[in-house]
Structure 1
């Protein structure tokens, strides 16, 4: 009871600020969806629909404040919208309409969080806050699972919060796998030194937690993602070499049941669990011949007619155990095409970010963040070969963050290209167009107002000089800053005066 009361106060106090800034709602929404703290209370909040209440209020504020206009114009946004729409159409023709509708509702909730994230992330400061919150939420379970594995000697499996989306071993391994690159990035770029050290400690414990799940797919995906990160980031090559040296020691330290389970990876054709997955993959392929466009709908494998027609006699029907065959069976070839397009578009968008930010010290944070997100997507693509886990909050939220970071970097690069001397009549300049004789050399400044994300994304004197300049010519900006200070930084965004300010 006390846990529930404490959590209720912890949620209710910041929720007061949601009408003033929907970003507060996105933070609460992300925290509850990722960490699922209500599942740790064992009180009246255990089954309370808290996340739905916060989601509805946040989305209502976004619509009421007309913040939809800040949605990034990126192909990923269009592809996700098409995927959700196609899943809704396939739900109409599903073999199990009730189960399919429940799955589609869950998909709507997950993608709505991604939509709200893309709309409200308009500065580097907000981006750091959100990524830090995600890192803390998943680092808690990573540290907890790692310590549990060490204390028990790996004899028992590490699990996520009971009743949450990562309750199972495979789901828990997938979550830890995708959050691991973010923890590495936060260990280098978190704004508070204590947070940086916390994430540095959580990284090895999270790796131990992944091993403690005894998930074979998670182990293989961890190897694939580690190799990718080492090839893309030279500094991590030493870390991977240390892991390879320590691998024999880990193999000997882990208990016999763990070693026996991992040895089945090399003898997959003799493993009943893996061959059962192959059976469901073949069933998905055969069903796509009869339902190539709309598929059988979400959870269509549970239908008795599906099992009688596509699952061989004597075989046990089970989950698809593959995001690719799962999308093929549930949403047909169009659904599979859209899902693969989203995944590869996210990977290649991160690759483009890495290229354009290469060698730019002021955008090093974006360069390394793109590498981290690309590694997360590669890990998800690898683990998805043998696991069916498409409706995942972190996956779609990383897609939204990718679109936002692309927009931020484009704004910064455009700012650098279009930078020109700003000549105004003010105390630092003379009359109409010429700098005062005693003003000294004037820094290059932008020809117009700098967006919020460009101010936070760039490091250097030009943006700061520009906004000091704005305060001198526009007293409204100073009043806005004072109001922001009173509201804790969550007040309305600064709207520059309309018209061509260069003629002011």
Structure 2
């Protein structure tokens, strides 16, 4: 039944995607992030939905009369440079067959990232993109949160098999990144019951992240909460809520969960942690020896025998930073860090320049919440091999499009309206006075 439902949903959307490229781009984000076909048990689990949607989306872009050009911003140029560099490093890969197999997957992700970048142009497109990300990841958060409550936290929560977030640690990080986006959308919901439902969903996502038993996830959520607290205008109230709710969440989890979290401070005696450190040493030594790095999928016994302190401790990178360093060298690491820094600065620019403009409240709130998600990814990603996970790239697209919209709005009318504080509004947000509302048309 699930297989038929997903198939009908995709087939029903394809004619609309053929007419409007943005629908195809949003369908691609949904199928690649949520992977709904993995929730079935029959033919849908292996059906090439992603390739079908990608083909229709590209065809729609080619035939569309809309102006869907690639926005040539510094972020776009850096991403193009990163993609070119990955192609170059693949030519010098230590294990060519495995490298070209992974290259095929990564280049498809990057191609569709550029396609999504071309179609996300309006405010409604950005909002729809955020909703697709929240629904795609929030589904597993709500489901996992309910499972955690039912099991009393005695069983781990896992993501969908065969996907980027199938691992419990990756699922935890994805849910942590989703919570700020849920908070942003909650502010825009018109009905009280909708906001309450979103708040419950946020709580279930947090429980699912804890129920994953991910130590890196705990560090990521702490970093994200600290950032959100520092940016909050109500630090005393926020601190009081954290002091009240955090112990309750921890106390709900069983003793075995606490025992696992205690190993964070005792990593020297943890085989998994020491295996990661051994892989990090290997990646650093390899990058020093090989200008182009080792290429895709080079975490094999031969590379550990050549560069690892412990040649027998073959381990995946388990770090976005050491993964890019080992696979693409110091140049690749520099380009990847530049992408992250520029995306962060774009979001900071939005918060700084959109503040005080009531009709740009949505942009200020979205940029601040995106920053919170990126903080979670920067910290949690230090312990996970999620270099090619597409969600951070889609967030980058949303921030780029939002900055362009803010620039257009400020160029049209740079003088800020007189703001008034709105009860319960997100960090740095304001709403417009009735006099200003008629003078400032909403940016679409």
Q: Which residue of 2 aligns with 1:127?
A: 126
Q: Which residue of 2 aligns with 1:89?
A: 88
Alpha-carbon separation, structure 2, partners of 1:336 and 1:17: 39
CA RMSD of aligned residues (A): 2.3
2:318 maps to 1:321: yes
TM-score (norm 2): 0.90
Q: Which residue of 2 aligns with 1:446?
A: none
Q: How much does 1:8 deviate?
A: 1.5
Q: Which residue of 2 aligns with 1:500?
A: none
Q: Which residue of 2 aligns with 1:349?
A: 346
2:438 maps to 1:461: yes
* 1:58-73 pair list within 5 angstroms: 58-65=57-64, 69-73=68-72
| Residue 416 to residue 163, structure 1, CA distance change in 2 (3 Å) | same
Deviations 1:311-365 (A, max 9, x none): 2446420111111111111001110000000011111111111100112211111
2:295 maps to 1:297: yes
Q: Which residue of 1 aligns with 2:162?
A: 163
Count of residues paired in the alignment: 425
Q: Check conservation: 1:298, 1:330, Cα contact below 8 A.
A: yes
Q: How much does 1:80 deviate?
A: 1.0
TM-score (norm 1): 0.80
Alpha-carbon separation, structure 1, partners of 2:412 and 2:29: 31
Alpha-carbon separation, structure 2, partners of 1:53 and 1:237: 51
Alpha-carbon separation, structure 2, partners of 1:195 and 1:42: 32
Give the 3-state SS of the residue equivalent to 2:394 in structure 1.
helix
Alpha-carbon separation, structure 1, partners of 2:246 and 2:191: 33
| Residue 236 to residue 4, structure 1, CA distance change in 2 (3 Å) | farther
Higher Cα radius of gyration: 1
Deviations 1:398-450 (A, max 9, x none): 0111110010000000010499xxxxxxxxxxxxxxxxxxxxxxxxxxxxxxx
Q: Check conservation: 1:231, 1:237, Cα contact below 8 A.
A: no
2:50 maps to 1:51: yes
Q: How much does 1:182 deviate?
A: 0.5
Alpha-carbon separation, structure 1, partners of 2:191 and 2:121: 21
Deviations 1:161-194 (A, max 9, x none): 2222211111111211211110111111246766
Q: Which residue of 2 aligns with 1:377?
A: 374
Which ranges of structure 1 fall in alignment gaps of 5 or more residues? 420-458, 468-492, 494-504
Deviations 1:46-81 (A, max 9, x none): 111111111122022213336575332321111111
Q: Which residue of 2 aligns with 1:216?
A: 215
Q: Which residue of 2 aligns with 1:174?
A: 173
Q: How much does 1:93 deviate?
A: 0.8
Alpha-carbon separation, structure 2, partners of 1:213 and 1:346: 29
Q: Which residue of 1 aligns with 2:250?
A: 251
Alpha-carbon separation, structure 2, partners of 1:69 and 1:28: 17
Alpha-carbon separation, structure 2, partners of 1:153 and 1:71: 49
Q: Check conservation: 2:304, 2:313, Cα contact below 8 A.
A: no
Give the 3-state SS of the residue equivalent to 2:149 in structure 1.
helix
Alpha-carbon separation, structure 1, partners of 2:273 and 2:151: 27
Q: Check conservation: 1:276, 1:315, Cα contact below 8 A.
A: no
Q: Which residue of 2 aligns with 1:413?
A: 410
Alpha-carbon separation, structure 1, partners of 2:336 and 2:75: 11
2:360 maps to 1:363: yes
Alpha-carbon separation, structure 1, partners of 2:319 and 2:113: 23
Q: Check conservation: 2:147, 2:157, Cα contact below 8 A.
A: yes
State which drifts further: 199-208 or 245-254: 245-254
| Residue 56 to residue 251, structure 1, CA distance change in 2 (3 Å) | same
| Residue 244 to residue 22, structure 1, CA distance change in 2 (3 Å) | same
Deviations 1:457-487 (A, max 9, x none): xx9435769x9xxxxxxxxxxxxxxxxxxxx
Q: Check conservation: 1:153, 1:254, Cα contact below 8 A.
A: yes
Q: Check conservation: 1:114, 1:399, Cα contact below 8 A.
A: no
Alpha-carbon separation, structure 2, partners of 1:246 and 1:169: 23
Alpha-carbon separation, structure 1, partners of 2:151 and 2:277: 33
